[in-house]
Amino acid sequence: MVGASAQRVVAREGDYQLVVEGVSKRFGGVTAVQDVSLEIPRGGIVSIIGPNGAGKTSLLNMVSGFYKPDTGRIVLEGQDITQKKPSHIAALGIARTFQNIALFSGLTVLDNLMLGRHVRMKAGVLSSVIYWGMAQKEDIAHREAIEEIIEFLKLQDLRKQTTASLAYGLRKRVELGRALASDPKVLLLDEPMGGMNQDEKEDMARYVLDVNQERGVTVVLIEHDMGVVMDISDKVVVLDRGRGIATGTPDEVQRNPKVVEAYLGTGKGGGKT
């Protein structure tokens, strides 16, 4: 069985940048994710939807290395990353944002973005922040990369402000910038528009599209706003009670009776899953 599974993954590596093969995750007697498979095409936007408790965030946590699957495997560009540490996975090109904003509130926008750059710094986080030794040689190139992100996300006037002083929507934008600072190949976004008003959602959706189209980054998105999901996604994956129940284009998913029953026919809400 293991050999057959490996053969299926190898056969798909040429077509997909990221392959999740039959992963499961249990917490005590609770099964959060059960035998879920994903195929993420290079350069696409894939949204993962489902009701609260469906296992969406747990799935992203396995892809990014924060959880280790009990079964199954995860392959990035032909390399098995299932058991690798989060820092190693980040260095290989997977970055993520979190449902609950995880910025350093006492640091400036610029410093938060520079910390996001640490996986590309040979000198390490501490010396990179206070500019010792090798970090002095790297500083110009890394700051140029960060300034480009600041311009891309229209944060020019905010670079010296602490993130604690920013409005919620701007903090979400800074968190996106921090993920981009690592030069990801694949970007995992966990409810990037959660808690935003309509104008902020439209801005964030536009940035997600620009990240994908202008910067060539593959995007895997968890989002409860079905309008956003259906507008920007190339492919939608639906989870319910830890299992995958549907995969397809936005139009195909909207017409799927299982999806209507499990998600689209219910009220929308937030919550970590």
**CATH top class, domain 102-183:** alpha beta
H/E stretch holding 9: helix 2-13
Task: Give the predicted TM-score (pTM) of the model.
Answer: 0.83
Beta bridge partner(s), residue 247: 237
pLDDT tens, residue order, the chain (273 aa): 334 344 434 434 457 999 999 999 999 989 999 999 999 999 999 999 998 889 999 999 999 999 999 999 999 999 999 999 999 999 999 999 987 777 888 899 999 998 888 765 665 555 555 555 555 666 777 888 899 999 999 999 999 999 999 999 999 999 999 999 999 999 999 999 988 999 999 999 999 999 999 999 999 999 988 899 999 999 999 999 999 999 999 999 988 988 888 755 544 444 444
Radius of gyration over every alpha carbon of the chain, rounded to an integer in angstroms: 19
In this predicted structure, what is the pLDDT of residue 269? Answer: 41
Taking residue 262's Cβ as centre, other Cβ atoms within 10 Å add up to 21
SS3 label, residue 5: helix
Dist. CA 235–CA 139, nearest whole Å: 39
Cα four-point dihedral sign 102, 105, 107, 113: positive
State both tokens at 9. 């993954």
For every residue of 188-240, DSSP letters joined together read EEESTTTT--HHHHHHHHHHHHHHHHTT--EEEEE-S-HHHHHHH-SEEEEEE
pLDDT tens column, 71-83: 999 999 999 999 9
Domain positions in the chain: 102-183
